[in-house]
Copies of this chain bind each other. A is one copy, B any other.
Amino acid sequence: VHEIHTQLRNHRSIRAYEPQPLDDSTVEEIVATGQAAATSSNLQATTVIHVTNPETRQRIAAVTGGQKQVTTAGAFLVWCADLNRSHRVCESVGGEMVSGMTEQFIIATVDVSLAAQNAVVAAEAMGLGICYIGAIRNDPQTVSDLLELPQHVYPVFGLCIGVPAEDPEVKPRLPLAAVLKRDVYTTEEDEQAIADYDRTMQDYYGSRSANQKTTTWSADIARLVGGERRPHMREYLAERGFEMR
């Protein structure tokens, strides 16, 4: 117990990797362990594209704004929410899938996330480092084209996995009082908890070994949610068969 909890608590994103590629059997072990996570009604709406083509990785790195770990990690996986498979399965038994429902979008997105996080725990247990890459959604159409994703499939996030070539600090999280509530949603403890966390993060950002900066969590979040983020997502998803009805 102690060992697993310690591993989980010590997660941090790794952005610098040793150059050796992960062998196929390691990738297979990681993804198969991811598959064992819970899945809504056993739908298993997850497909993983293991991107080995260097040019494809370069082009995906460009989509992410040049995040170098997309090309340098031992492996790069794109985790896709996949309702195309259920579509085919439904047709194969003479049925027809109802598509475009918001609920299906939630189910598929959650399915992928649970499987990926299980895979991450498996990878980290092997001493590997990981980094989720949400920025593939900067241009999901280009990623879809590169990976030849069919309708009813969208790339939720990328995942770098490899042998770490850095050992960054663990980033502190919000005090539990802000996140765990009893019976009803209350905000009474939040102001204090967030003020405490702002100080914690100011200290963390000012003293960490790389990429030091002077900011608070509140200022970061205000910047983050104060502008339109990836406003193309709705139209992209609608064109791919996720109409959000």
Interface residues of A (CB under 8 A from B): 1, 3-5, 7-11, 13, 27-29, 31-33, 35-38, 40-44, 46-53, 56, 80, 83, 85-90, 92-99, 101-104, 106-107, 109-110, 113-114, 116-118, 120-122, 125-127, 130, 132, 134, 137, 147-150, 153, 156-157, 170-171, 173-174, 176, 178-187, 190-191, 194, 217-231, 233-234, 237, 244-245
Pair A174/B35 contact, Cβ less than 8 Å:
yes
Smallest distance from the beta carbon of A174 to chain B beta carbons, Å?
5
A103-B179 in contact given A33-B5, A126-B1, A132-B38 (Cβ < 8 Å): no
Smallest distance from the beta carbon of A83 to chain B beta carbons, Å?
7
Looking at A92, A96, A113, A148, the one whose CB has the most chain B CB atoms below 10 A away is A113
CB < 8 Å neighbour of A89 from B5, B185, B194: B194
Number of copies of chain A assembled together: 2
Pair B228/A8 contact, Cβ less than 8 Å:
no
CA–CA, A107 and B231, complex, Å:
13
CA–CA, A122 and B120, complex, Å:
14
CB < 8 Å neighbour of A49 from B52, B149, B185, B230: B185
A125-B229 in contact given A38-B11, A183-B52, A221-B89 (Cβ < 8 Å): no
Smallest distance from the beta carbon of A245 to chain B beta carbons, Å?
6
A122-B87 in contact given A181-B47, A185-B49 (Cβ < 8 Å): no
Pair A176/B9 contact, Cβ less than 8 Å:
no
CA–CA, A56 and B125, complex, Å:
38
Pair A5/B43 contact, Cβ less than 8 Å:
no
CA–CA, A49 and B186, complex, Å:
10
CA–CA, A41 and B133, complex, Å:
10
Q: Give every chain B residue within 8 A of A245 (Cβ-Cβ).
A: 231, 234
Q: Which 3 pairs, one residue from A and one from B, show the smallest C-beta to C-beta distance? A: A113-B113, A117-B117, A103-B230
Pair A113/B104 contact, Cβ less than 8 Å:
no
Q: Give every chain B residue within 8 A of A174 (Cβ-Cβ).
A: 35, 44
Pair B114/A116 contact, Cβ less than 8 Å:
yes
Q: Give every chain B residue within 8 A of A120 (Cβ-Cβ).
A: 37-38
Pair B52/A244 contact, Cβ less than 8 Å:
no
Apart from A89-B218, A93-B222, A106-B137: 20 A-B pairs, beta carbons within 8 A: A1-B127, A4-B121, A5-B29, A9-B33, A10-B36, A28-B180, A31-B176, A38-B132, A40-B134, A47-B180, A49-B185, A87-B225, A90-B221, A92-B218, A98-B226, A101-B234, A103-B230, A109-B109, A234-B244, A244-B244
